[in-house]
Amino acid sequence: MGGGVRLSRNFTLAEMDRHGEAEPHHVEALRALALDVLQPIRERWGSLTVTSGFRSAARNAASGGSPTSQHLLGLAADLVPVQADPIDVWCWIASSAVPFGQVIYEERRRPDGSLARWVHVSSAADGIRGQVLRSPTKGVYLRAR
Ligand SMILES: [Zn+2]
């Protein structure tokens, strides 16, 4: 798929499928995620850096991702707000009308000791709806409500 494909007003296929590995049905899932979930978040919070969108099975395994990750289906994205705190964005999504499946505030310690912080958000396409979690470390997911 061409890198110039726009999924919604502010999201392109290139940023959601950085390695150009999404199949057409993944692209459709990414489009729905961008239109229904990411765009309303963008409109409230300004620019969002997509640090991970679609992941191929090989890339997901290599990065230690869960084998059932919604990133494999094009149903999830990891977001770092450019001008806001990820916790604020996470809280807002949780109580908003955005039709999300899961929203997770995630923290991971980098090798250099700094803390990576982001918001994972998925569409409700696979039936999970409105789950709010936080993940303070790899493999630990705590229900926040
Ligand atoms: Zn994620």
Q: What are the tens digits of pLDDT across the range 84-142?
A: 999 999 999 999 999 999 999 999 999 999 999 999 999 998 888 999 999 999 989 99
Whether the predicted pLDDT of 1 surpasses 90: no
The predicted pLDDT at position 145 comes to 77
Question: What number of other Cβ atoms are within 10 A of residue 71's Cβ?
Answer: 21
The predicted pLDDT at position 83 comes to 96
**Strand 131-137 relative to strand 100-109, pairing:** parallel
Q: How far is the CA of 2 from the centre of ligand 1 (A)?
A: 24
CA-to-CA distance for 85 and 45, rounded, in angstroms?
A: 10
What is the model's pTM? Answer: 0.94
CATH at 39: 3.30.1380.10
Please indicate, yes or no, if residue 109 is contained in any of the structural domains.
Answer: yes
Q: How far is the CA of 90 from the centre of ligand 1 (A)?
A: 13
Please indicate, yes or no, if residue 5 is contained in any of the structural domains.
Answer: no
Where b means 16+ CB within 10 Å and e means fewer, 99-128 reads: ebbbbbbbeeeeeeeeeeebbbbbbbbeee
Q: How far is the CA of 61 from the centre of ligand 1 (A)?
A: 13
CA-to-CA distance for 121 and 101, rounded, in angstroms?
A: 7
Please indicate, yes or no, if residue 2 is contained in any of the structural domains.
Answer: no
Give per-residue pLDDT as tens, 32-87.
Answer: 999 999 999 999 999 999 999 999 999 999 988 889 999 999 999 999 999 999 99
Q: For the chain, how many structural domains are there in total?
A: 1
Closest among 136, 57, 143, 65 to 102, alpha carbons compared: 143
The predicted pLDDT at position 125 comes to 85
